[in-house]
Structure formats: structure tokens, C-alpha cells
A = this chain, B = another copy of it.
Amino acid sequence: MNLQELINKSVRELTDVHHSKYRYIPMYDKQLPSAQTLKEIIEVIREIVFPGYFGNPSVTENTVRYHAGVNTEKLYYLLFEQIYRALAFESNDANTPTIAKEKTFFFIERLPDIKRLLSTDVKAIYDNDPAAKSFGEIIFCYPAIKALLNHRVAHELYLSEIPLIPRIVTEMAHAETGIDIHPGATIGEYFSIDHGTGIVIGQTAVIGNHVCLYQGVTLGAKKFVLDEAGNPMDLPRHPILEDNVTVYSNASILGRITIGKGTIIGGNVWLTYSVPPNSRIIQTKAVEDKFVDGLGI
């Protein structure tokens, strides 16, 4: 078989639309949102929310309104196109352009509140980390702020019932920070994450104010219910964390349970039941073990 034959054979097999196993894949004639443009959108939002830290470094208190104007206009055009694509991916409604415009307007009106929430997060992280030297260091360097900006943006888009984009936006943060927050999760003010790698927060989780999570914490589902067709049902199935809860590294909290306010959960705990306010939960004490073989454990 020469190269030409190999190519012809591969083309034939790879484009065989009748192959039974391939049935999940066909996706033609629709234009998906562009991951590249969504990245650009997040950068523009970062410039708008944290002027001077990201984007044009020469911005001053006096020229900041020129930059805000140009960036907001740019955001409108970029975001409208992506929202339009995402809506068109799921429906052929003739009103899609109008709906896309309304949702884009609505999002831009929410920007000042997103900025307000993020500024509470910056404060909370500063208060919880003795290693932090300034607010600026947190805004500019900390992965938690990257992840929270993407989440708070994605959550607004999720509430507007825009398909695909919220998930792409949170996955961008997930890839960069290892923090995986589903866009559906509800998160209060002054939320702080330290280190963050491995954190998973599920779709229906509800988090109060002044909550702090460490790396590797899972707020997950314990099980899910199938509907009559045998598909998993999208019901509340992740934990509720009330105000002022702290969860240490690698703890797994699963199911629609409530962690009462002021509670502290120790690291590496596996928790599947509700606990009352101000609880203190830790793993059973580890044990000393004599090994038979030299190296292993």
C-alpha cells in the first residue's frame, strides 16, 4: 500500500457515516462558538474590571473612561456574535438575532455587579493568606481570581440560559488553574480559594458568604436519579454551604446536604451527610503501621 492508497482507505473509513459507533459525532452546518474569541472576551472583561492590571498599561484615572468605552463597545460586538452562534446551535428560531442582542445587553448591564463581587473576593483572599503582600498581587497573580472572574461571568451567562458558552468559559479557567466550578453553582460574596488545584464545585451547589475552600475540595453529587427514558435527571444534588464555612484540602462533600454556618471541615474527609452550624469534622486519626517488606507501605 502506498501513501495515496493509505490516504484513500483512511478517508473512506473515517467518513463512513453509517458506522454504528460513530453515531454520536456528526456535527455539520452549524458554527460553534469560537474558543479563541471567548478567550479574547475574557481578556476584555479583565481589562474592564481590573484596569491597569490587564491590557493597556498606560491607563490612568483620567483616561480610564476612554478605555472603558472602547472595551465595552468591543465586548458588545465580540459577545453578540458568540451568543448568537450558541443560540443558533440549539435552535433555529427566527428571533435568534434579537434574543442574542437582548442577552448581550443584559450581560453588559451586569458587569458592574460582577466587578463588585470580584472586589469582595480579592478582599477575602487577602484576609485569609498571610503570604499575600498586597491586593495588587492577588489580582495580578492568584489563580483563584482568574477562576472566579471566569465563574462569575459564566454564571451570569448561565442564568441567561445561553448554551455552551458558560461551560467553555469555566473550562478555560479549569485548564489554567485546575479549579473546576460548574457555571450553574451559586456563590456568595467574599469567596476565597487558596491554591485551588483540584477543587470541584458541582452544578447545583449553593455557597454562602465568607466561605473558604482549599485545594482538592470536592462539592459533588452522591448519586443521580434516572428519568423514565433512563437518562440522568438534572435535580439539585450538590451540597449547600452556609456562611463562614471553611473546608480544608482534599475533603469530599457529596450529595444535597447542608453544611451549617461556621462549620470547619478538616482535610481528606469523605462527608455525605448534613452537619449542624459550627461543626468541626476531621478524619479518623491515621495509624502507625509496621511493614513487613522494606520499601513498600
Contacts and interface: CB of A to CB of B under 8 A. Distances in A.
Nearest to A33: B140
Nearest to A285: B284
A136 to B, nearest CB: 6
* Interface-central residue, A67, A171, A248, A270, by most chain B CB under 10 Å: A270
Nearest to A176: B175
Given A200-B249, A286-B281, A29 B131 contact: no
A264 interface: yes
B52 A63 contact: no
Interface string A1-19: 1011011111101111101
27 contacts: A4-B62, A6-B108, A11-B65, A14-B48, A14-B72, A14-B112, A21-B119, A21-B120, A26-B61, A27-B51, A29-B60, A67-B70, A130-B221, A141-B167, A178-B197, A178-B198, A195-B200, A200-B215, A215-B218, A223-B293, A255-B296, A264-B297, A280-B291, A281-B286, A281-B287, A284-B286, A284-B287
Interface of A: 1, 3-4, 6-11, 13-17, 19, 21-32, 48-53, 56-70, 72-74, 76-77, 89-90, 105, 108-109, 111-112, 115-116, 119-120, 122-123, 126-131, 133-137, 139-143, 163-164, 167-168, 171, 174-178, 180, 182, 184, 195-198, 200, 202-203, 214-216, 218, 220-224, 231-235, 237, 248-252, 254-255, 264, 266-272, 279-291, 293, 295-297
